[in-house]
Structure 1
């Protein structure tokens, strides 16, 4: 078997014409790929190709861990830019924070990306003979099969992310349909006849902010108004508690800013209401 690997390396060098030395890792990859091609030629049923299944398992383990780590660190954005994917990867600060905090999000994106990339990689790269470690730019080392596949996953990641993000928005949008504007007004408690006009304005501003927010924020705020705890909101929306805390904190900061603007315009009314007997500060 060792002689076969050496002969294979020699053959590759003759094709390359530059006498490039290949690492042991790349030589093993070349041998594996040739075995996968021979297997595909002998067995028409893809489910009866153990070599291909073994290779898929190896590539999955390696790529899954790398994608997981790069999403958590935020490096995924710069890596996708380096491979020049046709679909741009646009991640907001909130999106990056989601990937950092939520392991389930990273799990799902990694599995989807690898699954989509493998189907193309097997047919269009391995069987078609497009992976050639000899054809590399001058000064660069030949890419191992794992590195090559990881790069292909990076090319697929933006499209996978766009589809996944749209599904998340649809899920959040569906959850926000459970409360109408009238119900939200009642939950905020500003429909009482005893509520001063200025307090009603504050509550109305909060209602407008909730209804104008993106589906994810609105779903969190809707559940919060309904009386759900942070842990219950996280479970309901498949989020982490820190993610829910962050959304609530940022929304409250924005709401306080709006209240302060109203206070500047009409401080006397808000103050007189706060000084009434029975009103807690």
Structure 2
């Protein structure tokens, strides 16, 4: 385990867990935290020993989005940083999560707002505590969507519901989030991280390359015509078919034994 001021990184069972660790500020994102998280996620993407990733927050919140205290101070100082952070930090964060060649699971232990909620939407799966809530608060501070929310959220819950969340900035509770497909599972408070880590450990023992190819095909199909999606499916299926894990799975099926995946 290595610990930085605002980011905790832990490895266990092929799973790397990132904990946003600014609980007194509801894990809001400062410039330093954004840069630390981006670098750490990129490292996880390249590390073969990491076969699944969990993202969570310390304390009562998952992530409240942009640290507005830092933001307003920079605005008052006429610093250009607030106007460039979307391109320099938020967009790369979302690209890194969605393009991660291994599963990424959000353990939403409390409120997820703004860019924090968007970060959860970009993950492959979301486990929410019963008291968790999701808030698209951009309009409340005179801003529009960022961190991929205009793309990810409608694909999770539909255009109409996404527009309602963005325009009205009303929170969505965990049970409603489950009902409309925003999250995959709701668990009792205090159990979101353990549940997500157990799921991630199970996936870390699975066919990592196949998961990567599934993510690639799904991401391509989200904005492709049918022929384009079919072409990506054909390529990624051929690539997955050449892996040791595919051969192992077929041999295990024929031999009527559980497969032993290596991620290759």
Q: TM-score, normalised by structure 1?
A: 0.19
Structure possessing the higher radius of gyration over alpha carbons = 1
Question: Would you tell me which structure has more helix in proportion to its own residues?
Answer: 1
